[in-house]
Chain A
Amino acid sequence: MTAGGNGRAAFEDFIVREASLLDARRFRDWMDLFAEDGTYWVPAVPDQKSPLDQASLFYDDRDLMKTRIERLEHPRIHVQTPPSRTAHIVGNVVVEDSDAAKGEYVIGSTVIMVEYRDDAQRVFAGRQRHRLRRHGDGFRIVQKRVDLINCDGAFEAMAVPI
């Protein structure tokens, strides 16, 4: 744990911009923030230990992410007719771990996403953790994990990533 106050703003900027790409439905640009070995994980169990032996709401590697995004771009995706509109807010950002020598960082934050679609509005909320790797002047996401407070609840259809 070497990071003090310095650098937090850069991480916060990064994850705020990441969320804003989802709100803008720029899904391909969003995917490009992930490293080639990057994963997007939304567990379905509180404090889930592993995505390998338990079901998850999302556990996408780049391949599944690509399939998901191709579907989001498909003209006949019924569950996005009309499309979702979302607004994310990211806060309570904490640098949980950092290894400047390796260029690897773990950033915790709280996320709230409000989604409106087809006359209905709903709220998702939880704690998220970004594992980032330095990439040139910026970062690539090694893993984005979102622990929703209601992760083991019953959900109506969810089409867009949180």
Chain B
Amino acid sequence: MRNGHADEIARLIEPGRVHRRVYTDPDLFELEMERIFGHAWLFVGHTSQVSEPGDFITTDLGRQPVVMVRHRDGSVHVLLNRCTHRGAKVVNERRGHAQRLTCCYHGWSFDTDGRLVTVPVPEGCAADFNKDEFGLASAPRIGEYRGFVFASLAAKGPSFEDHIGPVKGNIDDLVDRAPDGALALDAGMHRYAFNGNWKLQVENVLDSYHVPFGHASTVNKDGMQFARREGDQKGATVVETGKKQTAASWKDRKSFIAGNGHGWTSNTALDDGKRSSPAFDAYKKVLAEKVGKTRAGEILTPRLHNSLIYPNMSIMGLNIHVRVIKPIAVDRTEVTVYPIRLVGAPASMNFGNIRLLNVTHSASSFVQTDDLESFVRAQKGLKSTMTDWVDISRGLGAEQPDRERNVTRGLATHEMVVRAQYKAWLGYMSAAA
């Protein structure tokens, strides 16, 4: 697959199945880094992570190390984190604060907008050396919505508005929960890694089919999962009481696709009327004071479970967090999970979320660990060359238009969302490099 001809790639994706090589072929992985991660709008970070001028975070967009930094004029820049002199990575910390970004090797120093400011021993520079030509490269395009910063490494392509489309509403769903209408990703992070392809994680975030089986160890004898939100008295009913069958309410959950690989799953049925704790009640009161009781009621009626903003991030509306998926190699992936602080909510409410996220999505959690085991075993199984195809046909043909939302709807235990991801995948991968 070294050349990546479009017709050859197209043969890997069929209506209800994909070829195992999309998970295992190192050449295809390199093509993904060029054609998907080198072009698509990727989530970089949140403005709250760089709230003051000079604040920065570092990450990778596919193969490209970048630094997201706030400049003196308040603008947020996404810069290639590679010295324009001899190529060293300039900023080595995961996050921090600096007036200038200075390379450790020869001391070239860049302003927080990428401009090259200082070159030690300038008399040695070539006669026609022009500092203006040696600034840190910027991501060609940056898009932001309510603090969520995305970048595309391609100068041309669909606009950010066209890319994100109706999924903006999923960001609103989260941000509106903050009494002050703003989020902060300042409550640390969970980092986990696994020996498996990045798409295993991407597919999993909208997969409701696996929950009763994959997460059986989190379901009690009554068929209920442990409580995952502050104030909940119990978790969702996943398995029918007394039976080893997926619960009817679980089977009824919906999923939605909105183009470009994005999608989401509907809320988990929970007894919202009984949701109460000192922290939750205090939060509800503050929210109602800010936005009115009716609006607060709407905001606190969950509509969304997980939302995927293809290809590299998801937002969870149940026990709230943002998750960023970073491919490392064809069989290695690293994921960062950020707890969300609702600005204006009581500290006790934000603690409730942090505390429960520790046990749902950390490397040592009750939920994520069984997913990681499934990803690792999938990668092991997919090494087998005796069978070429991976089945993703559940609900094929059962998709329905959702005219109210202008999206497509299916059952969350179906695989419509995975097929939609491969449609987007094929679009990126077939485009001329």
Name A residues whose Cβ lies closer than 8 Å to a Cβ of B: 42, 44-45, 48, 51-60, 64, 67-68, 70-71, 74, 76-79, 81, 152-159
Asked if B52 is an interface residue, CB under 8 A from chain A, the answer is no
Known contacts A53-B351, A67-B359; A154/B191 CB under 8 A: yes
Task: Please give 9 more A-B residue pairs, beta carbons under 8 A apart, in addition to A55-B189, A158-B369.
Answer: A51-B354, A53-B354, A55-B339, A56-B354, A64-B355, A77-B370, A155-B363, A156-B363, A159-B364
In the complex, chain A residues whose CB is within 8 Å of the CB of B216: 74, 76
Asked if B412 is an interface residue, CB under 8 A from chain A, the answer is no
CB atoms of B218 and A71 under 8 A apart: yes
CB atoms of B363 and A55 under 8 A apart: no
CB atoms of B363 and A158 under 8 A apart: yes
In the complex, chain A residues whose CB is within 8 Å of the CB of B192: 154-157
CB atoms of A152 and B358 under 8 A apart: no
In the complex, chain B residues whose CB is within 8 Å of the CB of A55: 187-190, 337, 339, 354, 357-358, 362
CB atoms of A79 and B354 under 8 A apart: no
CB atoms of A54 and B187 under 8 A apart: yes
Q: Which residue of B lies closest to A162 (CB)?
A: B364
CB atoms of A153 and B187 under 8 A apart: no
CB atoms of B373 and A44 under 8 A apart: no
CB pairs A–B below 8 angstroms (14 shown): A53-B351, A53-B354, A54-B354, A55-B187, A56-B358, A57-B363, A76-B217, A77-B217, A79-B369, A79-B370, A81-B373, A155-B364, A157-B373, A158-B369
Q: Which residue of A lies closest to B213 (CB)?
A: A76
Q: In the complex, A115 Cα to B66 Cα: how many Å?
A: 35
How would residues 318 to 361 of chain B score, 1 for a CB under 8 Å from any chain A CB and 0 otherwise? 00000000000000001101010100000100110011011100
B368: shortest Cβ distance to chain A, in Å? 7
CB atoms of A68 and B188 under 8 A apart: no
Known contacts A74-B216, A153-B191; A52/B358 CB under 8 A: no
Q: Which 5 A-B pairs have the closest CB atoms?
A: A155-B363, A55-B188, A54-B188, A77-B217, A74-B217
Instruction: Among A44, A67, A70, point to the contact of B362 (Cβ < 8 A).
Output: A44
In the complex, chain B residues whose CB is within 8 Å of the CB of A159: 364, 369
Q: Which of B16-32 contact A (CB under 8 A)?
A: none
CB atoms of A68 and B217 under 8 A apart: no
A102: shortest Cβ distance to chain B, in Å? 28
In the complex, chain B residues whose CB is within 8 Å of the CB of A57: 190, 358, 362-364
CB atoms of A157 and B368 under 8 A apart: yes
In the complex, chain B residues whose CB is within 8 Å of the CB of A77: 217, 370
CB atoms of B358 and A68 under 8 A apart: no
In the complex, chain B residues whose CB is within 8 Å of the CB of A79: 369-370, 372-373
CB atoms of A157 and B363 under 8 A apart: yes
In the complex, chain B residues whose CB is within 8 Å of the CB of A157: 192, 194, 363-364, 368-369, 372-373
In the complex, chain B residues whose CB is within 8 Å of the CB of A44: 188-190, 362
Instruction: Among B189, B193, B217, B339, point to the contact of A156 (Cβ < 8 A).
Output: B193
